[in-house]
Amino acid sequence: MECEGHGTAEHDLSEPMPQWNADQPPTTGLLVQIKSLRDRIRALSSGEGAEETEGVLQALDRVDQAAHLVVCEHAGMADELLGLYDQLGAVFDITRQLPTVMDEPQVKALFARTMTATYNRHLVAFAQPGAGGWQLESLGGDVARLQGSRWVAEFLDRVAAQEIVVVEPSDGPTRKDGIVEVLAAPVVCHGELIMVALVVRDARGDELRAADMNLADVLCAYCADLIANFRLHHQLRQVSVDLVRSLVATVDQKDPYTSGHSIRVGFYATQLGRDLGLNREELQMLEWSALLHDVGKIGIRDEVLKKPGKLTEEEFAHIKEHPVRSYEVVRRVPQLAGALDGIRHHHERFDGSGYPDGLAGRNIPLQARIVQVADIFDALTSSRSYRTAFDWRKAINIIEDEAGTTVDPELAAVFARFIRGRCEGKSDEAWQALFGEAEAMLLKEPEDAAKKDATEV
């Protein structure tokens, strides 16, 4: 905002005093009033009595200068307020979209979208450090001239991990690129440079102000915090996963025939849950539930667990204790409360003849009905002490035959569609690949159905 200058022109006494204008800021109006009054007095004093009015004029000049300063300060304050408003708007925008953000790349993408929208009158680019130098990207902007600019590369090297800066290139060749000014804001997470956001002003662009630097600073800090949170979350999850993996391996090793069983059940169950449209949190709990469903077998006597022949009534009753034993182990961990249904009820049957509680139909929690289908499928397609593994086709046929008696018919149909979709009409390698994918599933973050749909669009 430009400030009103000090005028000294003679004022026509017949002209009325200017009135306050509703569209004009009052401070600016004050300047006009003072200027007008001073001009009138100066005009009056041009004749007789000039000496008497000199003191009044000097006092008015001082008032005028003070008022002028006030107007300029107001203009600065208005700029500052607008800058704060922009910061709030951008931060609010990011916060509003946070529930849709699942991982670090999505944080970066959200940051890039917000920066690009905020500085929409400039070219916004993002530089990522790589083995071969800086990789520049932009959402729709032309970064070719930046990519080829020696000055930009050198500038980025200097900016890396340093404080946010605005630099006007002074060398001739850069000006030929049309770059007048560059604001560079690094995103630094725990000392690691993640990327540098560049706001590039060409000759037609608005001058970059202090408020623009502040805004970029706030957005970069927010982005770095979010990335730090996701990394921490990932590390904590990895610790939990490693702990569960060793616990599950201990159980599976009790019986070499069931080695890898829990991990594969976790994979099949989350695939089925995904096809049923479960959200991310439900999938996460389903995964834990499936992984830990047989953990209670650790308390089952070895000679019963590994017995190749028919079990006695007492032995069968003992083995049937394992869902409740699993439940008793896992319920000590409050964070896994959402996984308990599938653990306790994975041996219930749809017709009500299962155990431990004899639940039937939809009274069996959905999580348990899902784990049950995955559990049966893996048991059928794995070798046991009393038989070799069934072919996947036979296993699916058996599950379909059991629809309505053992398993939920709707879930049986969805699962059969998933397995056939992956393996039907393909060589046995497709089945082997699926089996291998199942064993590697613990390394992955769960995806919910909404994310799957978004990815596939």
Query: Which spans of this chain sit near Fe ion (rule: CB under 5 A)?
Result: 294, 375
Q: How far is the CB of 265 from Fe ion (least distance, A)?
A: 6
Compare residues 63 and 247 and give the one whose CB is closer to Fe ion: 247
What are the counts of helices (DSSP H) followed by strands (DSSP E) for the chain? Answer: 18, 5
Minimum distance of Fe ion from residue 292's CB (angstroms): 10
Q: Are 89 and 63 in contact (CB under 8 A)?
A: no
Instruction: Check: CB of residue 34 under 8 Å from CB of residue 63.
Output: yes
Q: At what angle do helices 210-254 and 261-275 cross, to 10 degrees?
A: 130
Closest separation between CB of residue 330 and Fe ion, Å?
Answer: 13
Q: Least separation, in Å, of the C-beta of 331 and Fe ion? A: 17
Nearer to Fe ion, 375 or 408 (CB): 375
Give the nearer residue to Fe ion in terms of CB position, either 68 or 344: 344
DSSP letter at 452 equals H
As measured in angstroms, the least distance from the Cβ of 187 to Fe ion is 45
Compare residues 90 and 248 and give the one whose CB is closer to Fe ion.
248
Smallest distance from Fe ion to CB 336, Å: 17
- The CB-of-97 to Fe ion minimum distance in angstroms stands at 40
Nearer to Fe ion, 93 or 255 (CB): 255
Beta pairing partners, 192: 189
Buried b / exposed e over 290-300, threshold 16 CB at 10 Å, is bbbbbbbbeeb
Between residues 294 and 408, which has the closer beta carbon with respect to Fe ion? Answer: 294
- Looking at 60-178, which runs of residues are DSSP E strands? 123-130, 133-137, 165-167
CA 409 to the chain's CA centroid: 37
DSSP 239: H
Q: How far is the CB of 133 from Fe ion (least distance, A)?
A: 52
β-pair partners for 125: 198
The residue with tokens 């499936």 is 290
SS3 content of the chain, % helix, strand, coil (to 5): 60, 10, 30
The distance of closest approach from Cβ of residue 391 to Fe ion in the complex, given in angstroms and rounded to an integer, is 20
Smallest gap from residue 342 Cβ to Fe ion (A)? 11
Find residue 184's DSSP bridge partners. 165, 198
The span from the CA of 290 to the CA of 366, in Å, is 12
**Nearest residue (CB) to Fe ion, 86 versus 252:** 252
Beta strand 179-189 pairing with 133-137: unpaired
Read off the tokens for 320.
């049937």
Nearer to Fe ion, 341 or 375 (CB): 375
Cβ proximity to Fe ion: between 108 and 261 the closer is 261
CA distance 34 to 73: 18
Query: Residue 385 is encoded by which pair of tokens?
Result: 């002490």
Q: How far apart are CA 99 and CA 450, in angstroms?
A: 12
CA dist 88 and 102 (Å) reads 23
Between 64 and 375, name the residue whose CB sits nearer to Fe ion: 375
The first and second tokens of residue 109, run together, are: 């993408």
Is there a contact between 159 and 186 (Cβ–Cβ < 8 Å)?
yes
Could you tell me the smallest distance in angstroms from the CB atom of residue 375 to Fe ion?
4
Burial class from Cβ neighbours inside 10 Å (0-12, 13-18, 19+) for residue 180 reads: middle
Nearer to Fe ion, 49 or 256 (CB): 256
